[in-house]
């Protein structure tokens, strides 16, 4: 099945929209949140549970899967979908963020990136071409080009050189692709400089990419700058193709980004926070470790329909966490991911019904009061 994206409904008061993303492994209604399954698994939850909470698409990571178990293992066993038992769409990140976070263990050249594995110190090279080849072997539905995630703060000279190289790498990635059933997304960089992001978009948007991502945000900048730069960047991208805001995942940031016209999101927050005892609820964040929950018979979130909230009390969840039981991570992760998917469902419904502006203000107001 060929990849396609259709805007179904636009909001009249913002740039928010509901879309339909068609891939070889199914349809994704957007805006959509992608749980992070870095190594071919979303930590502490099974594929069946992900389906039950409404997950439409997962994110996998090229860097980690390349190192372990190895791309040939995945290819020989039928591709990433079969390997991990997930029949719905998968987007694979290029691994650029992981490589560039290695610091002294990597060296950037025009050809690509030479790095040492964090697992055993062995030396490897990723190029724009090899990253496309790896993702085609994995068989994901959406592949990402190799880019450099620019740190913040960074000098203008550094950002210019990095962004120009990222644009050249994107052009090389297009030439390397060979699978017609796999979409390829480019990544807009440019740091916190509007003119550099504009120039990057000018070079990339005429090219036949299936979608565009915005990278280099959510890297330590202030909230106001994150929102303004995300909004500015979205406006540079074609309306007819999906827009993906990479790695930004606080609920309030997602709502703001949806109003700017983004369609896809990923973040480790819901899963990572769950493993440290923090729950996202309709009344704000909850730290289940607190002593006040030791005898609390209520569910974590009385408005939530997930298995965790239907079945277990705050007292029991606290007990599991304090006792170090693996089940604590499983249940808390399940709840947090359901919270995110319910948020996206409500977003889409509000846009369809023409009440996104009111819903957005009310929801963000509750979040601010709760926090």
Q: What mean pLDDT comes out for the span 223-249?
A: 98
| Domain C-terminal end among 267, 283, 308 | 267
CATH number of the domain encompassing residue 138: 3.20.20.105
- 82 and 201 share one domain: yes
* Band of pLDDT at residue 128, cut at 50, 70 and 90: very high
Could you give phi then psi for residue 227, rounded to 5 degrees? -65, -45
- 23 and 123 share one domain: yes
Could you give phi then psi for residue 27, rounded to 5 degrees? -105, 140
Mean residue pLDDT across the chain: 96
pLDDT of residue 56: 98
Q: What mean pLDDT comes out for the span 67-82?
A: 98
- 53 and 159 share one domain: yes
- 215 and 350 share one domain: no
- 78 and 202 share one domain: yes
Q: How far apart are CA 32 and CA 260, in angstroms?
A: 14
- 127 and 252 share one domain: yes
Write the pLDDT tens digit of every residue in 34-70.
999 999 999 999 999 999 999 999 999 999 999 999 9
- 122 and 182 share one domain: yes
* Band of pLDDT at residue 98, cut at 50, 70 and 90: confident
Residues in contact with 48: Cβ distance below 8 Å, sequence separation at least 6, in sequence order: none
- 260 and 303 share one domain: no
Range of the domain at 344: 274-370
Q: What mean pLDDT comes out for the span 105-118?
A: 92
Whether residue 266 lies in the annotated active site: yes
pLDDT of residue 371: 56
Structure tokens at 129: 């071409």
Whether residue 11 lies in the annotated active site: no
pLDDT of residue 186: 98
Q: What mean pLDDT comes out for the span 229-245?
A: 98
Name the CA dihedral angle for 269, 59, 22, 359, rounded to a multiple of 10 degrees: 0
pLDDT of residue 329: 98
- 172 and 127 share one domain: yes
Q: Is a pLDDT exceeding 90 seen at residue 181?
A: yes
Residues in contact with 358: Cβ distance below 8 Å, sequence separation at least 6, in sequence order: 350
- 68 and 140 share one domain: yes
Domain count within the chain: 2
Of 93, 141, 147, 263, catalytic: 93
State pTM to two decimals.
0.97
HEC string of the chain equals CCCEEEEEEECCCCCCEEEEEEECCEEEEECEEECECCCCCCCCCCHHHHHHCCCCCEEEEHHHHHHCCCHHHHHHCCCHHHHHCCCCCEEEECCHHHHHCCHHHEEECCCCEEEECCCCCCEEEECHHHHHHHHHHHCCCEEECCCCCCCCCCCHHHHHHHHHHHHHHHHHHHHHCCCCCCEEEEEECCCCCHHHHHHHHHHHCCCCCCEEEECCCCCCCCHHHHHHHHHHHHCCCCCCCCEEECCCCCHHHHHHHHHHCCCEEECCHHHHHHHCCEEEECCEEEECCCHHHCCCCCCCCCCCCCHHHHHCCHHHHHHHHHCCCHHHHHHHHHHHHHHHHHHHHHHHHHHHCCCHHHHHHHHHHHHHHHC
Of 11, 147, 253, 266, catalytic: 266
Write the pLDDT tens digit of every residue in 10-39.
999 999 999 999 999 999 999 999 999 999
- 259 and 157 share one domain: yes
Q: What mean pLDDT comes out for the span 280-294?
A: 97
| Domain C-terminal end among 267, 290, 314 | 267
């Amino acid at each position: 099945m060929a990849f396609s994206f259709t805007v179904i409904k636009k909001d009249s008061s913002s740039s928010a929209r509901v879309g339909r993303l068609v891939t070889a492994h199914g349809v994704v209604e957007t805006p959509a949140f992608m749980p992070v399954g870095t190594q071919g698994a979303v930590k502490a939850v099974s594929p069946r549970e992900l389906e039950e909470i409404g997950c439409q698409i997962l994110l996998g990571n090229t860097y980690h899967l390349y190192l372990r178990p190895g791309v040939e293992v995945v290819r020989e066993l039928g591709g990433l979908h079969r390997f991990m038992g997930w029949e719905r769409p998968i987007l694979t990140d290029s691994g650029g963020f992981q490589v560039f976070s290695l610091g002294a263990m990597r060296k950037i050249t025009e050809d690509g990136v030479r790095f040492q594995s964090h697992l055993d110190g062995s030396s490897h090279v990723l190029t724009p071409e090899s990253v496309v080849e790896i993702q085609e072997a994995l068989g994901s539905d959406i592949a990402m080009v190799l880019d450099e995630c620019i740190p913040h703060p960074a000098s203008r000279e550094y950002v210019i050189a990095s962004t120009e190289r990222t644009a050249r790498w994107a052009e090389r990635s297009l030439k390397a692709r060979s699978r017609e059933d796999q979409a390829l997304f480019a990544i807009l960089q440019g740091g916190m400089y509007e003119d550099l992001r504009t120039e990057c978009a000018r070079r990339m948007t005429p090219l036949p990419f299936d979608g565009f991502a915005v990278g280099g945000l959510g890297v330590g900048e202030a909230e106001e700058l994150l929102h303004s730069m995300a909004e500015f960047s979205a406006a540079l991208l074609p309306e007819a193709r999906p827009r993906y805001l990479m790695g930004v995942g606080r609920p309030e940031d997602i709502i703001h980004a949806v109003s700017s016209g983004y369609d896809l999101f990923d973040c480790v927050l819901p899963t990572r926070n769950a493993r440290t005892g923090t729950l996202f609820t309709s009344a704000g964040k909850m730290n289940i470790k607190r002593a006040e929950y030791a005898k609390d018979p209520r569910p974590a979130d009385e408005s939530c329909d997930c298995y965790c909230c239907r079945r277990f009390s705050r007292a029991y969840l606290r007990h599991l966490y304090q006792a170090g039981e693996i089940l604590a991570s499983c249940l808390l992760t399940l709840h947090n991911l359901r919270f995110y998917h319910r948020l996206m469902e409500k977003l889409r419904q509000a846009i369809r019904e023409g009440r996104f502006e009111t819903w957005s203000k009310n929801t963000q107001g509750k979040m601010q009061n709760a926090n």
